[in-house]
Amino acid sequence: MSDFSSGEIPGSITSVKGAGGLKKLRIETSRSCAELYLHGAHLTHFQKNGEAPLLFMSAESEFAPNFPIRGGVPLVFPWFGPREGLASHGFARVMDWTVKESAVLADGSVQLSLSLSPVESYEVELTVTVSDRLSMELAVKNISEHSLVFENCFHTYFHISDIHAISVCGLENVHYLDKLKGQEFLEASSSIHIHEEVDRVYWDTASTVEIKDPGLGRKIRVEKSGGASTVLWNPWIEKAKRMADFGDLEYLKMVCVESGNIGKNSVTLAAGDRVVLKTILSSETLAP
């Protein structure tokens, strides 16, 4: 166990200078490796030995204070989406986080806890556990004397072989808001194929979502608890071109399957209470 503010553990966690001079932690286990920026407590890399990276990172990403990192796992909190005059997707992803604790667990997993200095009546902590899978827990405590309402989300970008080849399973019969059409629909498909821009919030679903990727010969599993919404997003051609920190053709290589509590699934937290949003990301070989 280490409680040094750097979080370093020889052979398991190393502090290095990342892109833009930002502080990055490299995490190594016998089965995988990962990288996390303290800026936004942002996971930018996770890779199992012998497998392609699980997370997509844009080659055009900014790495600078006040700018979010494009790709990996942005932490969305305490609001999702745009808010007039304020940062899109909240302040957590553009703030500097502090390492609270790090440890190598008995099973060889490496665990890291980070916190944000209390802001707007919230005490916020992220715990990341790296093994042959990646687990993340975002804990929020209300330290005010009145109840608070907020949104949260792991805005995970997955690395895929080709957007035309993948399918997304686990959302059949779930109601969703199509943000592009401004209308609600019921998901009819047990296996969603993406052939155009997609921006949807699926409501009231705790289901595990799977991304089947024949090109990489793998199936990614996105499990969650403490979250009632799942977002499915791919910017496709025109939006990709409009995004300054995203390559024109990078939409082909990513899909976001995001786990959280959004819109009508927002969290109401009584004074003194604490809630945890958890996701577990894993992968296995896709049977032909």
Catalytic sites, residue numbers: 155, 258
Residue pair 176/185 in contact (Cβ under 8 Å)? The answer is: yes
161-195 per-residue burial string, b: 16 or more CB within 10 A, e: under 16: bebeebbbbbbeebebbebeeeeeeebeeeebebe
Q: 117: which residues sit within 8 A by CB, 6+ positions away?
A: 98
Nearest distance from residue 22's CB to ligand BG6, in Å? Answer: 17
Q: Distances from the Cα of 19 to the Cαs of 50, 75, 157, in angstroms? A: 25, 19, 19
- In this complex, which beta carbon is closest to ligand BG6, that of residue 24 or of residue 155? 155
Nearest distance from residue 89's CB to ligand BG6, in Å? Answer: 5
Residue 53 identity? P
Residue pair 213/169 in contact (Cβ under 8 Å)? The answer is: no
- In this complex, which beta carbon is closest to ligand BG6, that of residue 129 or of residue 259? 259
User: What are the structure tokens assigned to 60, written together?
Assistant: 């055009």
Residue pair 177/203 in contact (Cβ under 8 Å)? The answer is: yes
Q: Which residue has its beta carbon closest to ligand BG6?
A: 88
- In this complex, which beta carbon is closest to ligand BG6, that of residue 99 or of residue 138? 138
Nearest distance from residue 73's CB to ligand BG6, in Å? Answer: 12
Nearest distance from residue 88's CB to ligand BG6, in Å? Answer: 3
Distance of alpha carbon 46 from alpha carbon 53, whole angstroms: 6
- In this complex, which beta carbon is closest to ligand BG6, that of residue 112 or of residue 211? 211
- In this complex, which beta carbon is closest to ligand BG6, that of residue 214 or of residue 247? 247
DSSP code of residue 287: P
User: What are the structure tokens assigned to 19, written together?
Assistant: 């892109």
Nearest distance from residue 70's CB to ligand BG6, in Å? Answer: 7
Distance of alpha carbon 223 from alpha carbon 164, whole angstroms: 23
Binding residues (CB under 6 A) for ligand BG6: these are 68, 88-89, 155, 179, 199, 231, 233, 258
